[in-house]
Amino acid sequence: MFRKITSLVSFFSIIILSITSVVLYLVPQGRVAYWANWNLLGLSKEQWGDIHICTGVLFLVASILHIWLNWKPIMAYLKKKSGAANFSSPAFFISLIITLYVVIGAVAGVPPMNNILEFSAHLKDQGAVKYGVPPYGHAELSSLGVFCKRMGLDADKAIASLKAAQIAVESPKQSLKELAGKAGITPKELHEIILKDQPGATKKTDSHKKNEATHENDAKAKPAPKNEAHENGAAGMGLGKLTLEQYCERQNIELNTALAILEKEGAVVDKSTPIRDIAGMLDMNSPREIGKLLHP
């Protein structure tokens, strides 16, 4: 019974992993997906990623149990007729070489792994063209007031434009994401409404597109340093998911002091706001940079 359950869990989880892998391969870059409120089957990019990670852990556990339960049959593949372990069989070496080639090839950028990665990058670039690119990282998390200040826009005119479009604005401290969600539109569409009555908005938008294109080309031509990529990746995920209150408790920081510092910097948050969102509001490359701000 236990053996059957383990095998079926492995089977079902690999199906889910295959589906989520395809979705994450095709999905636009994170900032584009959040800006355009991208979703597939009602699930956001982040939710698809969460499913992929959790199912991956389930598959890993099931695989370990499956190996333990089927250890003898597995070892039988590696044994000669005499019964001794045979690590020199063609099947063993071919399997090992194929696996290592894919792993090392993905890092070294050799065919066909580099073609797979380049095609994924192409699809993400097409997503940026289709859905638009935010003016800066996680712009949707900025309050309306901070967003207008950073973009050099007239906040009063922005509010007037939104109200004219039947979008209720209770306070300039509301984030673009909150306003867009209540209006049933994307942050990108909200941004377009804000720009309608702004002087020189077209000129600014064209300039931004040029700068964004230059930034994208530079990013492709010059990969990020390993330490920066590490901070933006898995190393920053645990820290980024902490709330401000949890972070302050771990770092022995007075919560009210932290709130005051962040508000002074333009991030209007509360104790339950995730560190990742705060970093996005302040256009930081990594949640770790919050520490530099709160620990002067």
pLDDT tens readout for residues 113-166:
888 888 877 877 787 777 777 877 778 888 888 888 888 888 888 888 898 888
Residue-level pLDDT at 78: 67
Whether residue 87 has pLDDT greater than 80 = no
Instruction: Flag the least confident range among 44-58, 191-205, 238-252.
Output: 191-205
Whether residue 18 has pLDDT greater than 90 = yes
Kindly give, in sequence order, each residue whose CB lies less than 8 Å from that of residue 91, ignoring residues fewer than 6 positions away. Answer: 77
Q: Are 252 and 291 in contact, with CB atoms under 8 Å apart?
A: no
Residue scoring higher pLDDT (58 or 107): 58
DSSP conformation letters of 77-112: HTB-TTSSB-TTSHHHHHHHHHHHHHHHHHHHT-TT
| H-helix or E-strand spanning residue 40 | strand 39-40
Whether residue 266 has pLDDT greater than 80 = no
Mean pLDDT, to the nearest integer, of 209-233? 42
Whether residue 221 has pLDDT greater than 60 = no
Residue-level pLDDT at 217: 47
Is residue 22 very low, low, confident or very high in pLDDT (cuts 50, 70, 90)?
A: very high
Residue-level pLDDT at 237: 43
> How many CA within 13 A on the CB side of residue 78?
13
Digit-coded pLDDT (tens) for 40-70: 898 888 888 889 888 888 889 988 998 888 8
Is residue 25 very low, low, confident or very high in pLDDT (cuts 50, 70, 90)?
A: confident
Residue-level pLDDT at 275: 84
**Cα separation of the two ends of the chain:** 59
Query: Distance between CA atoms of 74 and 95, rounded to whole angstroms?
Result: 13
Whole-model pTM: value is 0.53
* Mean pLDDT (the chain, rounded): 77
Mean pLDDT, to the nearest integer, of 185-205? 75
Whether residue 228 has pLDDT greater than 60 = no
